[in-house]
Chain A
Amino acid sequence: GDSVTQMEGPVTLSEEAFLTINCTYTATGYPSLFWYVQYPGEGLQLLLKATKADDKGSNKGFEATYRKETTSFHLEKGSVQVSDSAVYFCALSASNNDMRFGAGTRLTVKP
């Protein structure tokens, strides 16, 4: 079935460092792809999305490009802040709007 694999954490970076969190997917058809973020003690929030190949989703300085040829949707940010410390989930949604999540990657940014 459809699934998402994302890089294992935890990831620890210094403030202003470059961030990449890898995500690859397996799906029949053409899913939509998402990144969700979960701050400590809070629910999941949609960070960005892309609904078709070559689309780039972006929000709050984060970006991810839907790469059909490599079945990937890697999350990037040029300069992370302490406030970006959270758990990041890659997800896909194919038919039926059923969302499948990766295991999550915990990011800690140190001042």
Chain B
Amino acid sequence: EAGVAQSPRYKIIEKRQSVAFWCNPISGHATLYWYQQILGQGPKLLIQFQNNGVVDDSQLPKDRFSAERLKGVDSTLKIQPAKLEDSAVYLCASSNTGDWGYTFGSGTRLTVV
């Protein structure tokens, strides 16, 4: 089965610019997650979708971050405007109902300068 696809792989932007990341989960996986992994730390959940509805976005900085999952398949995560501290790897993962453990994509490495 195809894995979780993410793009772009790398992105460098200046602070105050906007950026968007894309994720295509494994076919049929109902649950999709976006994680932020700052260098030297473990991944931190930003938002969890079940189909096209938000289950948990309590750790998403909503003043600058937004995410959507139209039609319950692909998802985009946007940052506007970006700050220096947003430099991190943004990981997308998906899982199916009843599964334990996620499948992660390779991530998008964002550098804000």
**In the complex, what's the smallest C-beta–C-beta distance from A27 to chain B, in angstroms?**
15
Q: Collect the chain B residues with CB atoms within 8 Å of residue A99's CB.
A: 33, 43, 45, 93, 102
Known: A103-B40, A103-B41. Contact between A98 and B56, CB under 8 A?
A: yes
Known: A98-B45, A103-B41. Contact between A46 and B102, CB under 8 A?
A: yes
**In the complex, what's the smallest C-beta–C-beta distance from A10 to chain B, in angstroms?**
11
A43 in contact with B105 (CB, 8 Å)? yes
Q: Collect the chain A residues with CB atoms within 8 Å of residue B95's CB.
A: 97
Q: Collect the chain A residues with CB atoms within 8 Å of residue B41's CB.
A: 103-104
B101 in contact with A104 (CB, 8 Å)? no
Chain B 2-51 interface residues, beta-carbon cutoff 8 Å to A: 4, 31, 33, 40-45, 48
| Dominant SS among interface residues on chain A | strand
Number of interface residues of B (CB under 8 A): 23
Known: A96-B56, A99-B33. Contact between A49 and B43, CB under 8 A?
A: no
Chain A, interface size: which category?
Answer: 20 to 34
Whether, in the assembled complex, A20 has its beta carbon less than 8 Å from a beta carbon of chain B, the answer is no
Whether, in the assembled complex, B88 has its beta carbon less than 8 Å from a beta carbon of chain A, the answer is no
* Residues of A participating in the B interface, judged by any CB pair closer than 8 Å: 4, 32, 34, 36, 42-46, 49, 51, 89, 91, 93, 96-104
Which 10 residue pairs of A and B lie closest in terms of their CB atoms, listed nearest first? A101-B42, A43-B106, A43-B104, A44-B104, A46-B101, A103-B42, A101-B43, A32-B100, A102-B42, A104-B42
